[in-house]
Structure 1
């Protein structure tokens, strides 16, 4: 049977460079105000000079066709340049866009690293590949684990695929997958914290992601029918569901915060905070910080006791469609 893949739409992400790069910040302000030509004009010379945040932003501009004519090949080139300098969001977007453009085999290494950091769209793609034995050797326990992680992050496609997997993956392999999924959750925190420690980029501000196309995960040609009621009686909403970790508790006097974006208008930061409080369980327990620097207001929350706690909170925030990065104060 022909494999059917969901086409994942990458979120609209704009990166804000460290304050020293005033032109990058000016470009972000212009972008947020809808002046895309001005934003691209500010970023282009810095990108050509090698600034990874500006390179990432140029990739976004060409992918979305804002300020320039949409050109996926040029977007990929800018993402590759930024990724080569350790820009994590560039690597995430590079893998997703390569996959969407048909270079699935070339995208797989990037998607695997993104999946290890907890990127749910990458987890969905890699999990589908492992289930179908497409691009990678078939591995149903790991496929089930990755699909559980993506579903727990709120990706509707993954939840639908899990229900189909329950019809074909034997109970023993599903149990193995659940154990893997819990182990993946702890490793994602470490991988994300390590990635954040190796990049100079400050948090990115993300617009709401466009809806994801509905995915269909067909059974592979040699899939076995459910062997007994012992399998069919266990649903994804029951015993096979992954238990998602609660966000870490706020720590009085902790040295860590999470940064959710930088904005030219304080009202936009307040609006994002209000929106996220309704989407992220436990976020309202944290203190809101609006850190002003020049014409920019940075939205932060905390305090948290450690980098691991900050990374865990970021994972929950990212699952709600916003971007996030731990910051030590």
Structure 2
């Protein structure tokens, strides 16, 4: 009994009452209270808590509650990754795969990304799909890419759903299937992916893999345009010029043409057509363009 009491006393000394737990840290972090999270996570990370090491590494990487410091981030992420933490492996993989960083190491980054993907992390599976698609200039392996994207898409990873839909649309790595493509791209569009909104709008407008409806297709294109997609902005400008799916409105057309051009999607044909507007119409279009604020992409 005396030994048990002594052991309990030592345990209480080792774990002071009121000491923060990793759940406390996560709660502060999720609430955006990075100063508190940083203070509480350091002792846990120094004690070898894997989740704490990963979280501390991410905070240094992202400059949350502390000045951004990639070297220190790696110091904490690496031991967590070595112990099998998939999110730490993924974060480290992104660091090594950053071609703009002097630390760039494709082989090391690919290895870590694969480990995280094989552990079931959807974002890592998506990135493996991109890598297999030739994102770094390698010869594309679309079958492998589709396999990874399917795994991520099955977990609801939005970008994976969109990109997998594109593969079905083009018949790369999977059988060409416009219906399956429209289904996947439509799901990603519903979740707010601007590229998916653009492509789904085109599919609906043309009736590819889904029932044709120019009005609904135009609305999807407008949603993508409002989120800052320059290709969508250009297409919306054309819709308003010709009155396709929307009421003809040259001023609104010029607004979207101005925005698309500013984003690098110039259209000489539209410029020529819209040059015929009155000065008052041009001023109104410019005012609308100047007042435009893109909808934030979640």
If the length of structure 1 is used for normalisation, what is the TM-score? 0.47
Question: Which of residues 177, 198, 215 is equivalent to 1:92?
Answer: 198
Deviation at 1:125, TM superposition (A): 2.2
Deviation at 1:151, TM superposition (A): 2.4
Stretches of structure 2 lacking an aligned partner (at least 5 in a row): 1-112
Distance 1:172 1:134, change over 3 A: same
Deviation at 1:50, TM superposition (A): 2.9
Deviation at 1:49, TM superposition (A): 4.1
Equivalents in 2 of 1:93, 1:71: separation in Å?
A: 15
Distance 1:31 1:159, change over 3 A: same
Equivalents in 2 of 1:50, 1:117: separation in Å?
A: 21
- The aligned residue for residue 37 of structure 1 is 143
Question: Which of residues 246, 271, 286 is equivalent to 1:178?
Answer: 286
Equivalents in 2 of 1:37, 1:140: separation in Å?
A: 45
Matched, 1:46 2:152: yes
Distance 1:104 1:43, change over 3 A: same
Deviation at 1:88, TM superposition (A): 3.3
Stretches of structure 1 lacking an aligned partner (at least 5 in a row): 1-15, 199-329
Listed one character per residue, the Cα deviations across residues 100-153 of structure 1 (whole Å, up to 9, x for unaligned) are 445422211111111112222222222222223332223222111111222233
The structure whose Rg is larger is 2
- The aligned residue for residue 121 of structure 1 is 231
Distance 1:28 1:124, change over 3 A: closer
Judging by fraction of residues, say which structure has more helix.
Answer: 2
- The aligned residue for residue 65 of structure 1 is 171
Matched, 1:143 2:249: no
Q: Are 2:126 and 2:157, in contact at CA under 8 Å, matched by a contact in 1?
A: no
How many residue pairs get aligned? The number is: 172
Indicate the RMSD between aligned Cα atoms, in angstroms.
2.5
- The aligned residue for residue 128 of structure 2 is 26
Q: Are 1:95 and 1:110, in contact at CA under 8 Å, matched by a contact in 2?
A: yes
Distance 1:136 1:87, change over 3 A: closer
Distance 1:117 1:46, change over 3 A: closer
| Equivalences for residues 102-251 of structure 1 within 5 A | 103-156=213-266, 158-167=267-276, 169-184=277-292, 187-188=293-294, 191=295, 194-195=296-297, 198=298
Q: Are 1:37 and 1:68, in contact at CA under 8 Å, matched by a contact in 2?
A: yes
Question: Residue 172 of structure 2: SS of its match in structure 1?
Answer: coil
